[in-house]
Amino acid sequence: GENVEQHPSTLSVQEGDSAVIKCTYSDSASNYFPWYKQELGKGPQLIIDIRSNVGEKKDQRIAVTLNKTAKHFSLHITETQPEDSAVYFCAASTGGGADGLTFGKGTHLIIQP
């Protein structure tokens, strides 16, 4: 089955700086890669996703890049703000039939004021 590795487990950045979280996946059949933000005691919130036919996608301060050859994808957050502090999860799916998501272990992003 799919295996998703996520790094780093904790990331502390100064407010206004950029943050980058990286994930690798094992199943070359995976074609859908979402990123979720989870605040304490809440369910994950989809912040951006990318499909395998696209190399990069951007939404305001958030961007995701995908390298299918190397089987890795990354989340980039620019101009970080205190409200960006949360746990971020990457995930992968083959998207076939009723496939669930395989999640990375999460990155605790801390924005230092």
The residue (of 91 and 111) whose beta carbon lies closer to another protein is 91
Residues forming contacts to another protein in the complex (CB under 8 A) are 32, 34, 36, 41-46, 49, 51, 89, 93, 95, 98-106
Looking at the Cβ atoms of 70 and 98, the one nearer to another protein is 98
26 or 45: CB nearest another protein: 45
Neighbours of 16 (CB within 10 A): 12
Distance (Å, rounded) from C-alpha 13 to C-alpha 34? 23
Q: Which of 56, 94, 92, 93 is nearest to 75 (CA)?
A: 56
